[in-house]
Amino acid sequence: MLLAEITTAAGLPAGVLNIVHGSRHHRAPGTQARDALIAHPAVTRLWFEGDAGDGQQVMLDAAVHRKNLAAELTGTSPCLVFADADLEQATDAALFGAFALNGQRCTATSAILAQRPVYDDIVSRLAKRADHIRVGAPSDPSTEIGPLVDAEHYNSVSTSVRAAVRDGARMAAGGRRPAALPEGNYFEATVLSGVTPSMQIFAEHLYGPVLRVTPFETEEEAVSLASAFKDAPAAYIWTGDAQRAHRLAPALDAADTWVNSHNPQDLAAPSTGPGGAGPGIRRELGGIDFYTQSWAVHIAVDDSPVPRIGD
């Protein structure tokens, strides 16, 4: 809404940018707005960002109405931390990636795979720092994590965390509503350790401030664990071995892969990896090509003889 106010003040003509509010839930007006856009004959191109399951339905509906579709789908993004990594930087990146924007972003580093020799150290670092992350109102400049999007999502995240603890995960940090915030959809920065592939939360996409840590021994095991994250928008590799990074990056099913970095990028560049959108859905972050219509116009610049027939 602030963007709409800014563009209006800047002189953008009325009707160029339109904000239509709706909920993400199937029974609510958000779905009605989505379906109306897909079906409307004046809409020729569609951009969808959201859950992979919803994206598949949008793909089917867009095909019925013969619409061009680009999508950036959400999913759980694995972050592989090897024993030879710069642990200070890896910790900074993991925390920022997991908790910035309340963890409600598609490339959140919500699943940490840590090599066994540094696993305990990583868990300790993450938990200690997470305990000091400030949760509060978005209007407060000191706030580092604000509220979740609505009460239903808050309940979903808290239910998944409780289920993980029942399954055997350890609550290393957070896991509850902050004591100083009795009202609102606030949830502490949460770190779960001892998460195993058999637990539902392992590959679950929570879209919230919940970071899970799982140990691994070898490169092969790390890749095997990472393969559980279907439709991963991103993958992260932290290692001091450049050859290892080159070996592993092509093996990870992610739209984008970052090595020794959290995720700076040129937003005009498309995502070109195999993951993140699913078959048949075009992925574009910047969308320059997607929103550009090309024509082929052939003009003779000199006399071009035309073959004569029928004389």
Whether 267 is in a domain gets the answer no
- Read off the pTM: 0.82
Whether residues 44 and 20 fall in one domain: yes
Whether residues 145 and 199 fall in one domain: yes
- pLDDT value of residue 30: 65
Q: β-strands 111-115, 45-51: how paired? A: unpaired
The domain total for the chain is 2
Whether residues 36 and 180 fall in one domain: no
Whether 290 is in a domain gets the answer no
- pLDDT value of residue 280: 44
- pLDDT value of residue 303: 85
CB atoms within 10 A of CB 121: 14
- pLDDT value of residue 68: 87
Q: What is the dihedral of CA 198, 149, 280, 97, to 10 degrees?
A: -60
Whether residues 155 and 180 fall in one domain: yes
Whether residues 125 and 242 fall in one domain: yes
The tokens of 78 are what? 């694995």
Whether residues 91 and 219 fall in one domain: yes
> Out of 79, 106, 188, 284, which one is annotated catalytic?
106
The DSSP string of 54-117 is HHHHHHHHHHHTT-EEEEEEE---EEEE-TTS-HHHHHHHHHHHHHGGGG-STT---EEEEEHH
CB atoms within 10 A of CB 112: 29
Question: Which residues are paired to 70 by β-bridges?
Answer: 47, 282
Whether 11 is in a domain gets the answer yes
Whether residues 90 and 211 fall in one domain: yes
Whether 22 is in a domain gets the answer yes
Reply yes or no on whether 79 is catalytic: no
Whether 309 is in a domain gets the answer no
Please list the pLDDT of the chain residue by residue as tens digits (311 residues).
Answer: 889 999 999 999 998 898 887 755 545 556 788 888 899 999 988 888 777 778 888 889 999 999 888 877 777 899 999 999 999 999 999 999 999 988 888 788 899 999 999 999 999 999 999 999 999 999 999 999 999 988 999 999 999 999 999 999 999 999 999 999 999 999 999 999 999 999 999 988 888 999 999 999 999 999 999 999 877 888 999 999 999 999 999 999 887 899 999 877 666 666 555 555 554 444 555 566 777 778 888 888 888 888 989 98
Whether residues 147 and 207 fall in one domain: yes
- pLDDT value of residue 287: 61
For residue range 208-242, what is the model confidence (pLDDT) as tens digits? 999 999 999 999 999 999 999 877 888 999 999 99
Whether residues 185 and 251 fall in one domain: yes
Tokens 């909920």 belong to residue: 23
Whether 137 is in a domain gets the answer yes
CB atoms within 10 A of CB 187: 26
Whether 287 is in a domain gets the answer no
Domain boundary among 228, 244, 259: 259
CATH number, position 135: 3.40.309.10
- pLDDT value of residue 279: 46
- pLDDT value of residue 105: 82
Q: Is 65 exposed, middle or buried (0-12, 13-18, 19+ CB in 10 A)?
A: middle
Q: What is the domain extent for residue 47?
A: 2-73
> Out of 72, 188, 204, 284, which one is annotated catalytic?
72
Domain boundary among 21, 43, 73: 73
Whether residues 20 and 64 fall in one domain: yes
- pLDDT value of residue 269: 64
Whether residues 81 and 34 fall in one domain: no
Whether 274 is in a domain gets the answer no
Reply yes or no on whether 106 is catalytic: yes
Whether residues 108 and 7 fall in one domain: no
Domain boundary among 73, 92, 127: 73
Largest separation between any pair of C-alpha atoms in the chain:
94
Judged by DSSP in three states, 281 sits in coil
